């Protein structure tokens, strides 16, 4: 969710002078404090030396002494104000709400120092610091990272939590986000960021107001309902007389034509296949003559003499004897040195070659005319069947 903010609201959220949280963030560690204290001491010594060289400087000496002597106190305010001015340079801003996509920890190099070891070699010492990296985004496809020094309270941060922050850009429609402030996690009441550039008390109040209103603009005063039947109240009704009733237009009877021009349609006869329309005479359509029943035993147009009744079969004693089929001759006995064919199954005849012709029927089979290569195997198989 992205809601544009006015310039006045943006200047309230990002003040010109440093706040307490910004002062504490710039103050740093005790090492930074000692560095500023050393600068103050060196400044006071330089002013004392100038006094010895040039003599009495009057009130200018007192002013420089106060400024340089309190450098360790007012310098965080100065540097925080400079950093705020960088954010205030952006022309447009907006309130942004998204989700945490990923959280991971990294070791980043904070500073580097050069020194020499006992052998005189140059050694570069890196000062590393553990930082938490939070990837945030929303449904529109916007993605960015927020880094901050690792704290114990960061254990409460988990992916999927809602976050809020301030985005800044130089585009009026905020199509290109150039800077993101520190983020606020409402569920944990936790702020995460390297520098608190936003006034947190103002931002929390604004977040609650937006959360209650769901980011909707204030509703306008109710407007009168404009319809086609009745114009708004500021128009006089006499200027809009009621519309005269309109006749119902149908396909059977138009409104402006007379009925005599459209006489009713005469009834139409029912057309069927059994009886033609009334304007045709019945003699032109004589009834169809009856058709004989066609059967396989007696066709209608053939005479009965051509189909004599079927004779009954003669008794078995009067029938003529059938010719007995000639049996094949007995095979010659095999010699001992003859090749013994491979064994075959008892339930089925041996397989035929793929290209061999089919065997003739058993009744008309003549062994003398059979020249197929399977004749010997067939003969042996029949002999084996007879022995059983």
Identify the pLDDT of residue 81: 92
Q: Measure CA 47 to chain center.
A: 72
Q: Is residue 184 part of a domain?
A: yes
Identify the pLDDT of residue 118: 81
Q: Is residue 315 part of a domain?
A: no
Q: What is the mean pLDDT of residues 215-222?
A: 44
Q: What is the mean pLDDT of residues 273-285?
A: 61
Region of 101 on the Ramachandran plot (φ > 0 left; ψ -120 to 50 alpha; else beta): alpha
Q: Is residue 197 part of a domain?
A: yes
* pLDDT confidence band for 218 (50 / 70 / 90): very low
Q: What is the mean pLDDT of residues 269-288?
A: 63
Identify the pLDDT of residue 6: 92
Q: Which residues of 57-73 are buried (b: 16+ CB within 10 A; e: fewer)?
A: eeeebeebbeebeebbe
Residue 34: which domain range? 2-213
Contact 15, 227 (CB under 8 A): no
Q: How many domains does the chain have?
A: 1
Q: Is residue 382 part of a domain?
A: no
Identify the pLDDT of residue 96: 93
Encode the chain in three state secondary structure: CEEEECHHHHHHHCCCCCCHHHHHHHHCCHHHHHHHHHHHHHHHHHHHHHHHHHCCCCHHHHHHHHHHHCHHHHHHHHHHHHHHHHHHCCCEEEEEEEEEEEEEEEEEEEEEEEEECCCCCEEEEEEEEEEEEEEEECCCCCEEEEEEECCHHHHHCCCCCEEEEEEEECCCCCCCCCEECCEEECCCCEEECCCCCCCHHHHHHHHHHHHHHCCCCCCCCCCCCCCCCCCCCCCCHHHCCCCCCCCCCCCCCCCCCCHHHCCCCCCCCCCCCCCCCCCCCHHHCCCCCCCCCCCCCCCCCCCHHHCCCCCCCCCHHHCCCCCCCCCCCCCCCCCCCCCCCCCCCCCCCCCCCCCCCCCCCCCCCCCCCCCCCCHHHHHHHHHHHHHC
Q: What percent of the chain has pLDDT over 70?
A: 64
In the predicted structure, residue 116 carries a pLDDT above the cut 50: yes
Identify the pLDDT of residue 381: 77
| Tokens at 331, concatenated | 């095979």
Name residue, tokens 């992916």: 159
Q: How high does pLDDT run on average in the chain?
A: 77
For the chain, the C-alpha Rg in angstroms (whole number) is 58
| Tokens at 93, concatenated | 């801003």
User: How distant, in Å, are the alpha carbons of 18, 230, 232, 241 from that of 237?
Assistant: 65, 8, 9, 7
In the predicted structure, residue 288 carries a pLDDT above the cut 70: yes
Identify the pLDDT of residue 30: 86
Contact 137, 143 (CB under 8 A): yes
Identify the pLDDT of residue 185: 94
In the predicted structure, residue 90 carries a pLDDT above the cut 80: yes
Residue 12: burial class (beta carbons within 10 Å; 0-12, 13-18, 19+):
middle
Residue 221: burial class (beta carbons within 10 Å; 0-12, 13-18, 19+):
exposed
Identify the pLDDT of residue 99: 94
Identify the pLDDT of residue 339: 55
Q: What is the mean pLDDT of residues 109-132?
A: 84
Identify the pLDDT of residue 344: 52
Instruction: Considering only residues 97 and 364, tell me which one the structure prediction assigns the higher pLDDT.
Output: 97
Q: What is the pLDDT of residues 328-379, one digit of tens each?
A: 677 676 665 555 555 554 555 666 676 777 666 555 444 444 455 556 667 7
* Rounded CA separation 303/208 (Å): 113
Q: What is the pLDDT of residues 18-58, one digit of tens each?
A: 888 899 999 888 888 999 999 999 998 988 888 888 877 67
Identify the pLDDT of residue 144: 92
Identify the pLDDT of residue 219: 44
Q: What is the pLDDT of residues 317-327, one digit of tens each?
A: 777 776 666 66
Our CA dihedral for 67, 72, 75, 77, rounded to 10 degrees, sits at -110
* Rounded CA separation 117/352 (Å): 101
- The answer to which of 115-119, 207-211, 215-219, 230-234 has the lowest mean pLDDT is 215-219
* pLDDT confidence band for 256 (50 / 70 / 90): low
Q: Is residue 53 part of a domain?
A: yes
Instruction: Considering only residues 358 and 387, tell me which one the structure prediction assigns the higher pLDDT.
Output: 387
Identify the pLDDT of residue 315: 78
| Tokens at 123, concatenated | 């050694």
Identify the pLDDT of residue 225: 42
Identify the pLDDT of residue 29: 84
Q: Is residue 193 part of a domain?
A: yes
Our CA dihedral for 91, 97, 103, 107, rounded to 10 degrees, sits at 20
Identify the pLDDT of residue 210: 87
In the predicted structure, residue 250 carries a pLDDT above the cut 60: no
In the predicted structure, residue 222 carries a pLDDT above the cut 50: no
Identify the pLDDT of residue 132: 93
Q: Is residue 30 part of a domain?
A: yes
Total length of the chain: 388
Q: What is the mean pLDDT of residues 184-200?
A: 92
Contact 57, 46 (CB under 8 A): no
Q: What is the mean pLDDT of residues 120-141?
A: 88
Q: What percent of the chain has pLDDT over 90?
A: 31
Q: Is residue 145 part of a domain?
A: yes
- The answer to which of 93-97, 135-139, 220-224 has the lowest mean pLDDT is 220-224
* Rounded CA separation 100/185 (Å): 10
């Amino acid at each position: 969710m992205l809601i544009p903010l006015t310039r006045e609201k943006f200047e309230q959220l990002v003040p010109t002078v440093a706040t307490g949280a910004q002062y504490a963030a710039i103050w740093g560690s005790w090492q930074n404090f000692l560095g500023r204290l050393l600068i103050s001491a060196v400044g006071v010594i330089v002013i004392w030396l100038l006094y010895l060289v040039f003599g009495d400087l009057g009130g200018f000496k007192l002013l420089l002494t106060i400024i340089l002597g309190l450098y360790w106190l007012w310098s965080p305010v100065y540097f925080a104000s400079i950093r705020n001015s960088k954010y205030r340079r952006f022309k447009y801003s907006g309130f942004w709400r998204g989700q945490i996509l990923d959280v991971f920890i990294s070791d980043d190099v904070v500073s580097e120092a050069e020194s020499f070891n006992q052998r005189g070699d140059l050694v570069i010492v890196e000062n590393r610091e553990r930082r938490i990296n939070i990837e945030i985004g929303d449904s529109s496809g916007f993605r960015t990272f927020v880094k901050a020094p690792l704290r114990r309270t960061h254990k409460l941060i988990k992916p999927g939590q809602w976050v809020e922050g301030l985005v800044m850009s130089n585009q009026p429609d905020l199509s290109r986000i150039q800077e993101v402030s520190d983020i606020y996690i409402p569920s944990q009441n936790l702020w995460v960021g390297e520098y608190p550039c936003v006034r947190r008390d103002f931002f929390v109040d604004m977040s609650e107001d937006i959360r209650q209103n769901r980011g909707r603009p204030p509703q306008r005063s109710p407007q009168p309902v404009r319809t086609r039947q009745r114009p708004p109240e500021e128009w006089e009704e006499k200027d809009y007389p009621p519309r005269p009733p309109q006749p119902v237009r149908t396909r059977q009877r138009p409104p402006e034509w007379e009925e005599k021009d459209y006489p009713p349609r005469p009834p139409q006869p029912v057309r069927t296949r059994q009886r033609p329309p009334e304007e045709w005479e019945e003699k032109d359509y004589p009834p169809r003559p009856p058709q004989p029943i066609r059967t396989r035993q007696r066709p209608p147009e053939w005479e009965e003499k051509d189909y004599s009744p079927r004779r009954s079969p003669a008794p078995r004693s009067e029938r003529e004897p059938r010719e007995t089929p000639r049996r094949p001759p007995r095979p010659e006995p095999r010699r001992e040195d003859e090749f013994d064919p491979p064994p075959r199954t008892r339930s089925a005849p041996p397989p035929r070659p793929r290209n061999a012709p089919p065997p003739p029927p058993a009744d008309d089979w003549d062994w003398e005319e059979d020249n197929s290569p399977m004749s010997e195997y067939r003969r042996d198989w029949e002999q084996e069947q007879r022995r059983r």
